[in-house]
Structure 1
Amino acid sequence: MFAISLGGDGAELRPLEPWHAEDLLAHMERGRDFVGRHVGLPDRVTDLASSRSFLRSYAERAAADTGRLYGIWTDGRLVGGVLFRTMDTATGTAEAGCWLEPSAVGRGLVTRAARVIIDWAIEERGMHRVEWRVSSENEASIAVARRLGMTRDGVLRESYPHRGRRVDMEVWSVLAPEWRAAGPGGAAG
């Protein structure tokens, strides 16, 4: 297994795999209400079986080269994650995303972790475009997109059903030439 340091504060980025089902469930229990304000993950991971099933689905995506899932760990505890919800190597487009429990907010963990996976997608996997789709109400995630040097492409009005209502989704993106022009690891911030 590998772990990538996310800075000098003990935070690491690691693959999140089916054998982490108990860790993911405990993490969701700590952050269910907070994470669920904008993301559907807490509604999918409700018990050990659903946690294992979610992780298995991403292991299958990784095997098919259509997605990836990574955990953000601090002091040995899972506190969030970043992922490629989709990866289309034929078109060179991937959709990145994130979530974080309240205890880890405000430390730049998502920005640092997203920078690592976007750099990998562009430099190692040859992706041309990385998208970030986010609820228009999720100001923290929009701020991450900005820090990553992404451009707001537009708004998909009422396109995402979430907890009984339809939510506007913003599409942000960065293109490989823009990422490379920003220097190692993409945009500063």
Structure 2
Amino acid sequence: MFAISLGDDGAELRPLEPSHAEEYLAHIERGREYLGRYIGLADAAKDLDSARAFLQSYAEKAASDTGRIYGIWTDGKLVGGVLFRTMDVPQAVAEAGCWLEPAAVGRGLVTRAARVIIDWAVEERGIHRVEWLVAAANTPSIAVARRLGMTREGVLREYRIHHGARFDVEIWSVLAPEWRAHRDQLS
């Protein structure tokens, strides 16, 4: 398995695989309430079997080239991740997302990890458009979209139902030429 350094602080990005189910479940348990505020990720891993099934679904997406999931580790501990919830390679469109447990917030981990996977998608897989769908109230995730050089395209009003409540979803995106220009400015 490979690991990509996310900087001098020892953080690493690695594929998150079914064999990590126990570690993934422990990570979800540490941040279940925090993670569950805006996304259903915590709901998908209620026990070891469901955690393994969730990670297996992403292994199958990776095998069919329709999605990917990666964990963020700090000091050998899984603290969050980034993913391509969907990838449509023929259409060159992918939807990226992220999550982080509370103890790891505020260190730029998601931004650094998302840069790695977006660059891979654009340069290696030929993805032209990377989307970021985010609850309008999720200001930390919106801040990541901005740091990634994404453009806010609009709001899908009352688009999602989560824990019995409807909420607005903002659509952010970056196109391959914009991504390259943004990346080159950071270099």
> Normalized against structure 1, the TM-score is what?
0.97
SS in 2 for 1:183: helix
Distance 1:132 1:183 in 2: 17
Which letter maps to 2:100?
A: L
Deviation at 1:183, TM superposition (A): 3.4
**Which position in structure 2 is the counterpart of 1:89?**
89
**Which position in structure 2 is the counterpart of 1:172?**
172
SS in 2 for 1:124: helix
Distance 2:108 2:147 in 1: 10
- State whether residues 148 and 188 of structure 1, in contact with CA within 8 Å, keep that contact through their aligned partners in structure 2: no
Distance 2:61 2:83 in 1: 11
Q: Flag structure 2 segments of 5+ consecutive residues without an equivalent.
A: none
Distance 1:53 1:182 in 2: 36
Distance 1:167 1:20 in 2: 32
Distance 1:71 1:38 in 2: 19
Distance 1:15 1:32 in 2: 21
Which consecutive segments of 4 or more residues in structure 1 shift more than 3 A?
A: none
SS in 2 for 1:20: helix
Indicate the percent of aligned positions where both proteins have the same amino acid: 73
Distance 1:28 1:121 in 2: 26
Q: Deviations over 1:45-67 (max 9, x none)?
A: 01000000000000000000000
**Which position in structure 2 is the counterpart of 1:145?**
145
Query: How many residues are aligned here?
Result: 187
Q: Deviations over 1:90-128 (max 9, x none)?
A: 110000000000010000000000000000000000000
Deviation at 1:188, TM superposition (A): 3.8
Which letter maps to 1:151?
A: T
Distance 2:181 2:116 in 1: 16
**Which position in structure 1 is the counterpart of 2:70?**
70
Deviation at 1:44, TM superposition (A): 1.0
- State whether residues 13 and 113 of structure 1, in contact with CA within 8 Å, keep that contact through their aligned partners in structure 2: yes
Distance 1:7 1:138 in 2: 25
